[in-house]
Structure 1
Amino acid sequence: MPICNNNLRLLVGLCFVGLYLLVGVPLWYNLTAVYRAPLPVEYIRSLHEQKFHDVHMVIPVYIKSIVYRFPDVHEAVQVQVNHLLNSRYQFVPWSLQVLPHSEMKGPESENHVISLVLDDFVGYSISYSSKETTVFFDDRSVISNDVPFFVAQTIIEHTFTLELEQLSSDFSRKHETTAISYNPNIHLSVSLLTGDGYPISWEIDSALKEYFTPLRKLLSPLVNFTVDTGITYYNDLNLHILNESQSVTEQDISHAIDLSELSSMNYFEEPVSLNLAIIFPSELTAPSGLQFINNNSTPEDYGNNWKSYVVPQWGVFVINKYPLQRDSKLTGSFLVPIMYQFANDLFQLLGLAKNSGDITHPGVTIDSFKRWTTLRNINKAEETLWSLVKLANSFEQMSIPHEVLTNTTAALDLRLDIIDLLNDPKKGGDLLWNQALALSNQLVKLSETAFFHSEMVQQNFFPQEHKIAVYLPLLGPSSVVIFFGFIKLMKERNQNAKAENEKEDKDSQKSEPSNSTEK
């Protein structure tokens, strides 16, 4: 009976230990393990180490001759173009596909057109309203066969000067201090500030419709603007403290004025904003006007007594010299010149020009900016995904949700679609560049969504030692009871077996004398 009881206890103990090791430990590990989606780490690493290795952007250019018919001029220009581009280092490979005008697809206004015009001098002209470049040549250049070189030099060094400058070096390291970070959605706040509380009005609606609406339409492929307007009383941003200065620069404005107060007045959903602040001083603080505005106009002549200042990455201040009088009305004739100046400054704030009013051919510049921004978005998305990989590798116990893998894969697939558009020599025109830019904006959004996932941002992870520390009060006592009970059971089994052996030995010793007596 004791042997049967010991065997039963041993069997029960073995069941407990087996259940603990084969079921309990794997179950605990799986319940406490974090899900880590398998990110394409090596592919993202290769994109980071070999930037734009699969990119060769091709821009189609169409040539037409006004007077002479050159049947093979596009081939001759292509040879010169290739020679000039190959002589330059290209961080992002790009080239021009020179084609005859007859092969153009789509309207002429949407494509880059090179018009060859016979004249008395050699030169060029780039249209303000379209993407046409006119190259003037004379009979002497025709005889010397210099026309292809003139054309190639003009379109590379002048028409596509932005690509030539920006794509010849690592543009991801360039930082423009004046321009804001590019975003397809920008909010524009137009504010009228006066240091007094007199009732005033302004015809801002007509001024915006007359001048800003066409500019907004021109920039619509790049930026979607939302606009709000407002009047603020008893606030001239304390500009009178600069009156002791003989001249005031943009840096002085930035250092003297607290822009946070003005920016906090407006609430908007867009991640990026620009501001146009039209400011009039107060009669109390500047009764004779702001002296650093050196205009010889009278207080009644509002149209000639203001000065514009560009504040980097913020917007534009239009500071008026004299205070507004009671019941003043700012008419369209006063606001339109301000809007015109702001339009010139806007190109600088968006990064399309280095200096205010520097754009002489916005059609070509905006088209080049689309391509450049598309490439910058690709680079930005790659860097974001690389940061995601580094974050995942740094915290091995951090969860990587499946949504992160889905967004990462979608971003990488979208990147390939964009590159197919850029590399195709048979495509071009506004539709292509607009589509590539829109897709690149979506690419940036997907990569940032993957990186800024809630579980990734909060870094919800539990190191292995934390798991043990949390579950040890629960698992420790049960583990001790099971293992020590099993050890005790094994000891008892050994002791019982030893006792049985000793008893058998004693019994055998007692039976041996009796056997000998019988003999």
Structure 2
Amino acid sequence: MATTEVERRRGQLAALSIAVVVIVVGVPLWWKTTETYRAWLPVSQINELSNLQLQLSADVEVVFARGTVTPEQQKKVPLTRTQDEEHSVDEDTALRYRYETRYRTATIMEEDALDQPTAAEADLSLHTLSESPCGSLVVYVIPESSSLLPQDVDVYIGQRRTALLRIGGQIRVGKTLDLLLAHLEPRIKQVLQVMSFSHTDITAALSDRVRLSPGNKESIADSMRTFKSSPGYEITFSLLNPDPKSHRLHWDIEGAVQTYIQPLLTKLASVANFSIDSQTLYYAMLGVNPRFDSSLGAYTLSPDSLAHMINPVEARLDAQHSPLHIHDSKKQEVPTNAFHSPRWGGIMVYNVDGFYGPEAVFPVDLNINMAKVMGVFLAQLRLLLGVQSPNAPSGFLVAPCSRTGLADWELDRLMWSRSVENVATATTTITSLAQLLDQIGNIVINDNIAEQVSSAVTSLQLAVAELEAGNLRFALQYSKEAILASERAFFDPSLLHLLYFPDDQKFAIYIPLFLPMCVPILLSLLKIVSDARQKRREKQAKKD
């Protein structure tokens, strides 16, 4: 009897030991080894990005030339004023624009530069004296008697970050500096609307991420025309020869790119990386049927049919429709005979003389006028990249494009809008990724993803800080780093749904393995509990 009791106790201890080992060691070890690895993410900082409010700051310097201020007014110069403006894009997003304006008198060297015969030469001379920082502006106030500007021009905007503002006779009535500045402020504000960031540009950059008012059609149209912000673009020039049996076309594409396109891309190097290639396509076919205009003796294409000429590869033109002219919505012939498709590219129809003498030998060699072609493509490329030519107010004279095809202040406007667009895109990407990872707890968050997310958040914070400080070049660089890091994290292959499975699938896999072992242990524990209750009843009965 005693031996049986000892063996029974030994069996109970063995069952309890196994149960303790399984519960205390086995279950935690299994849970730890099968849990999803999730590296730490800066969740609190990511949540703060959803309430991000941007403030754009620009430094403006107003320089008074000789004859624009009285000796009494000159005593109060230099001085600095700060102007803050707040604009709401939608109910949740507010943009603040801050201009820090510093007033001073011109130096002797600047006075000499302003004595040039023309405004363009004065603009160049002022640029050689000192180059204004990226994002800043300098407005030179010149006297009414100055011969730099024509009589009907009050403001000249050059190729750099400099503007010439003629002071009017009605402004000189002010006897105090404050009154003089009050008279100048509306005109200076117009200069800023042309040369610096504008509410229209920033609204267009945010058009895909905020709710725009239906009345803001200009911003919507501009945003739909330009390429979306990207770290790099590939530009392809295609020569379509529909009838190589009749024409052997020659185009100096390499020389034309170096002469007309490369200077623009070099200036845009801080915005994005560009690669250029070219190709020649033969026997291309037309996707639409042009109408023959007997009065012109040529085929015409209407604006409605232009969209059907483009597919994801390129347009194809048929040899049977020549000459071919493009008409606008008013049925007027387009002078450039070209059109562009928003966010895609541009097409130019180059008509050749189809009348040759009886002794002509086919195919006829034809040299394409690359200056004519590249002039059109350069204008289209400016539109596609978001370089908008602002509507200058009355009395403004904007210098024509230089050899680079882009003025310094136009580059600044593009950098402002691209910086804001990059910040908005990276913010949306990071917050969307954080919400996805929070909703699906089984997705693995490896150290690389966590590093990219942290890098994106840090770059976003730095970009916002640099925008607020007016350091445009650094703001653009940080915003590009933010969008690259956010996209690398969002599109990381480890986040694919095939690389993780939900908890119900995990238990479905492991229960068939653990159940045969757990049933005997559970039955032993139940038997031990039952015996313990039986003994307790027997002891209670003996006491009674």
Pick the TM interval, shorter chain. Answer: 0.7 to 0.9
Name the SS of the counterpart of 2:455 in structure 1.
helix
CA distance in 2, matches of 1:143, 1:155: 18
For 2:377, the equivalent position in structure 1 comes to 342
2:269 pairs with 220, 223, 228, which one? 220
How do 1:109-508 and structure 2 match up within 5 A?
A: 109-110=132-133, 111-120=136-145, 124-144=154-174, 147-161=180-194, 163-166=197-200, 171=207, 172-173=209-210, 175=220, 176-198=223-245, 199-235=248-284, 237-238=285-286, 241-243=289-291, 248-254=301-307, 256-262=308-314, 281-282=318-319, 285-286=320-321, 288-290=322-324, 307-322=337-352, 326-331=363-368, 334-353=369-388, 362-424=407-469, 432-458=471-497, 460-488=499-527
CA contact (8 A) 2:342 2:384 kept: yes
Listed one character per residue, the Cα deviations across residues 40-68 of structure 1 (whole Å, up to 9, x for unaligned) are: 333322321x222xx43321112222223
Instruction: Return the offset for 1:152.
Output: 2.6
Instruction: Return the offset for 1:97.
Output: 1.4
Listed one character per residue, the Cα deviations across residues 280-319 of structure 1 (whole Å, up to 9, x for unaligned) are: 641xx23x5336579xxxxxxxxx9961111111111011
TM-score normalised per structure 2: 0.74
Listed one character per residue, the Cα deviations across residues 303-341 of structure 1 (whole Å, up to 9, x for unaligned) are: x9961111111111011334876242324xx11121112
Cα distance, 1:356–1:99 mapped onto 2, change above 3 Å: closer
TM-score normalised per structure 1: 0.77
For 1:22, the equivalent position in structure 2 comes to 24
| Larger gyration radius, structure 1 or structure 2 | 1
Which AA in structure 1 matches 2:345? G
Listed one character per residue, the Cα deviations across residues 53-110 of structure 1 (whole Å, up to 9, x for unaligned) are: xx433211122222235454564xx65x72xx54866832121111246899993354
Over the matched positions of the two proteins, sequence identity in percent amounts to 18
Unaligned runs of 5+ in 1: 263-276, 295-303, 506-519
CA distance in 1, matches of 2:100, 2:61: 8
CA distance in 2, matches of 1:168, 1:192: 36
Name the SS of the counterpart of 2:48 in structure 1.
helix
Which AA in structure 2 matches 1:474? L
Instruction: Return the offset for 1:186.
Output: 0.9
| Superposition RMSD in Å | 3.7
Instruction: Return the offset for 1:248.
Output: 2.9
Say whether 1:64 aligns with 2:113.
Answer: no
Unaligned runs of 5+ in 2: 108-126, 146-150, 213-219, 294-298, 329-333, 355-361, 393-397, 402-406
Say whether 1:95 aligns with 2:98.
Answer: yes
CA contact (8 A) 1:122 1:136 kept: no
CA contact (8 A) 1:281 1:323 kept: no
Listed one character per residue, the Cα deviations across residues 457-483 of structure 1 (whole Å, up to 9, x for unaligned) are: 436432222211111110111111221
Instruction: Return the offset for 1:444.
Output: 0.6
Cα distance, 1:72–1:213 mapped onto 2, change above 3 Å: farther
For 1:13, the equivalent position in structure 2 comes to 15
Which AA in structure 1 matches 2:363? R
Cα distance, 1:417–1:100 mapped onto 2, change above 3 Å: same
Name the SS of the counterpart of 1:93 in structure 2.
strand
For 1:42, the equivalent position in structure 2 comes to 44
Instruction: Return the offset for 1:38.
Output: 3.4
For 1:108, the equivalent position in structure 2 comes to 131
Listed one character per residue, the Cα deviations across residues 8-45 of structure 1 (whole Å, up to 9, x for unaligned) are: 11111111111111111111211221122332333322
Q: Which consecutive segments of 4 or more residues in structure 1 shift more than 6 A?
A: 102-106, 354-359, 492-495
Listed one character per residue, the Cα deviations across residues 342-389 of structure 1 (whole Å, up to 9, x for unaligned) are: 111212111222799999673222212212211221121111111012
Cα distance, 1:250–1:229 mapped onto 2, change above 3 Å: farther
